[in-house]
Amino acid sequence: MKAIDAVDESHVSELPAVLHHLVEREFIQPRESSAFVGTIEYTFTGNMLREMLLATLVNRQVAVYYGAAARWLIASSGRRVDEYNVLIAQYYEKAGEQEQAADYWQRAGKRSLNISAYLEARTNFEHVLSLLPADHSELPGLTIQLGTANYYLADYPLARQHLQAGLKISRDRNDPQKTAQALYWLSQIANETDGNYAEAKQYLEEGLQLVRSTQTESALEARILYGLGDVGWRLGTIDQAHDYCQQSIDLAQNLGDTNTELYALNRMGSLSWPHDPETAGTFFQRVYDKAITYGDRERAAHAINNLGYVAMKQGDFVKAKSFIEQAIGLTKEIGQQQHSSAGWMVDSLIDVSLKLGDTHTARSYVVSNLKFAHQIGLLPLLVNTVIQAGRILLQENPMNDRGLELFGLVLNHPACDLESRQVLHQALADSNLSLDDPRVSAVMESGKLLDLDQTVEKLLVDFRT
């Protein structure tokens, strides 16, 4: 009230007495507690009264009041200001102060991204863009952030569209930082939808060069280093991938970039998994614990899914399944049920079902993932699910040539990454088969001639029966 009174053309004397009188008349009532130390909060006893009072004020006066309320909220909330970004933005917008409103809508969007509230983030970024002119300096960054939100929501075509637009604007404006940011997120789409790891690596290498040419020790550099570690893992350049991830962790920790640190720690766990599952498990547990502490549900979901594999390795399949189901629940909670992550978690359920010898359930998960990956356009997940179909066929009958043909198809597909190749080779070992066996190699060689789309269509028919 004092903040509004200070900007008003007329001033209220004896404000405490006036408030006391309004309480007695039951126009307003004090709340039991206040969100701000040293203040008393009041609320109108009815919305109709509030609307009537607002209607008596001229528009200019209302705008002044909202602006004062926004500035008071910023000053009073202190370190907790991010909790009130949306309310501050709304007040500024009602005050007609579009620049300030856009700034706080953007802050709200960034915070929503950080806490895995991706639908809110997308809504906030879309609203900011509607407030700003086309030549505004923040346009490249906002367009890229909108693309990022769509990426997490698994709207990959729209994400790519916004990111490519942001990349073009950034290049046109000679903005190396925003160019590098767009390149990073385009690399993630190349990884997850196209399985084009060479293209992803090119994006990242260009991004790293740009970001290092303009400043040192940035969060963006840490994120690109993670990206290079991730694509190195997919391509099988393990030592280089390890170095990139460690650089990312060190830099992210120095900068307090928890989200990037969690990404890189998780990938370090993946790099350790084939030769040292115990160490991998400690990485995954660190990621989960820290993600829960910081409210990063997206990273927590990935970590607990990976802890499901640790439990599988330990022979506790019931615990493994519980962890994986918790991970899937988290992805649904944050609106990522259409993201590639959700498909990879269903892939984990295929693994645990096969460990339990339940090929019937595994078949149903294969059908689900084939449809999911094909519909959204996730090539790496699709080829990996074809491997899982081959595993099921071989587990049911080790002499089944169809399973080996599927392996041959996938092994020669560009989207088959290191992890998928490891799954394939382990499946051969589990069936007491070897690539050195002339029959095995000959059947797999014939699988190279299969068409992926036709194969998926046939598997969907065969696995439903």
Per-residue pLDDT of the chain (465 residues; tens, 9 = 90+): 455 545 555 555 566 676 666 777 767 777 776 666 667 676 777 777 777 766 766 677 778 877 888 888 888 878 888 888 988 999 898 888 999 999 999 999 999 988 889 999 999 999 999 999 989 999 999 999 999 999 999 899 999 999 999 999 999 999 999 999 999 999 999 998 999 999 999 999 999 999 999 877 899 999 999 999 999 999 999 999 999 999 999 999 999 999 999 999 999 999 999 889 999 999 999 999 999 999 999 999 999 999 999 999 999 999 999 999 999 999 999 988 888 999 999 999 999 999 999 999 999 999 999 999 999 999 999 999 999 999 999 999 988 899 999 999 999 899 999 889 999 999 999 899 998 999 999 999 999 999 999 999 999 999 986
Cα–Cα distance for residue pair 433/393, rounded to 1 Å:
13
Please check whether residues 243 and 279 belong to one and the same domain: no
Q: Convert 15-35 to b/e letters by CB count within 10 Å (16 or more is b).
A: eeeebeeeeeeebbeeeeeee
Please check whether residues 372 and 459 belong to one and the same domain: yes
Segments forming the whole domain that contains residue 92: 2-99
HSE toward the beta carbon, residue 272, CA cutoff 13 A: 20
**Amino acid at the residue 70:** A
Please check whether residues 7 and 83 belong to one and the same domain: yes
76 touches 36 (CB < 8 A): yes
Please check whether residues 318 and 381 belong to one and the same domain: no
Cα–Cα distance for residue pair 124/227, rounded to 1 Å:
26
Please check whether residues 464 and 363 belong to one and the same domain: yes
Listed residues 315, 331, 347: the one ending a domain: 331
**Amino acid at the residue 278:** E
Q: Is the dihedral of CA 209, 231, 203, 115 positive or negative?
A: negative
pLDDT at residue number 159: 96
Classify residue 140 as exposed, middle or buried by CB count within 10 Å of its CB (0-12, 13-18, 19+).
buried
pLDDT at residue number 52: 73
- The CATH number assigned to the domain holding 162 equals 1.25.40.10
Q: Give the total residue count for the chain.
A: 465
**The tokens of 289 are what?**
């614990």
Please check whether residues 241 and 187 belong to one and the same domain: yes
Which string of DSSP letters, residue by residue, matches 409-461? Answer: HHHTSTT--HHHHHHHHHHHHHTT--TTSHHHHHHHHHHTTS-HHHHHHHHHH
256 touches 282 (CB < 8 A): no
Q: Is residue 199 part of a domain?
A: yes
212 touches 224 (CB < 8 A): no
Q: Is residue 313 part of a domain?
A: yes
Cα–Cα distance for residue pair 297/114, rounded to 1 Å:
9
Please check whether residues 363 and 463 belong to one and the same domain: yes
Which string of DSSP letters, residue by residue, matches 214-232? Answer: H-SS-HHHHHHHHHHHHHH
Q: Is residue 211 part of a domain?
A: yes
160 touches 186 (CB < 8 A): yes
HSE toward the beta carbon, residue 10, CA cutoff 13 A: 3
Listed residues 99, 121, 140: the one ending a domain: 99
Please check whether residues 241 and 278 belong to one and the same domain: no
Q: Is the dihedral of CA 179, 181, 187, 192 positive or negative?
A: negative
Local structure of 43: helix, strand or coil: strand
Local structure of 44: helix, strand or coil: strand
425 touches 464 (CB < 8 A): no
Query: How many Å separate Cα 287 from the centre of its chain?
Result: 15
Local structure of 28: helix, strand or coil: strand
Q: Is the pTM of this model over 0.85?
A: no
Helix (H) or strand (E) holding 113: helix 98-114
Please check whether residues 214 and 299 belong to one and the same domain: no
Local structure of 42: helix, strand or coil: strand
Q: Convert 339-352 to b/e letters by CB count within 10 Å (16 or more is b).
A: bbbbbbbbbbbbbb
- Nearest residue to 82 via CA among 103, 62, 105, 111: 111
Partners of 29 in beta bridges: 43
118 touches 149 (CB < 8 A): yes
Listed residues 247, 262, 288: the one ending a domain: 247
Cα–Cα distance for residue pair 317/182, rounded to 1 Å:
41
Q: Is residue 151 part of a domain?
A: no
- The CATH number assigned to the domain holding 310 equals 1.25.40
Helix (H) or strand (E) holding 350: helix 340-355
Distances (CA, A) of 364 to 69, 371, 387, 404, 461: 56, 11, 15, 20, 12
Please check whether residues 386 and 420 belong to one and the same domain: yes
Q: Is residue 286 part of a domain?
A: yes
Q: How many domains does the chain have?
A: 4
Please check whether residues 370 and 453 belong to one and the same domain: yes
Please check whether residues 228 and 280 belong to one and the same domain: no
Q: Is residue 450 part of a domain?
A: yes
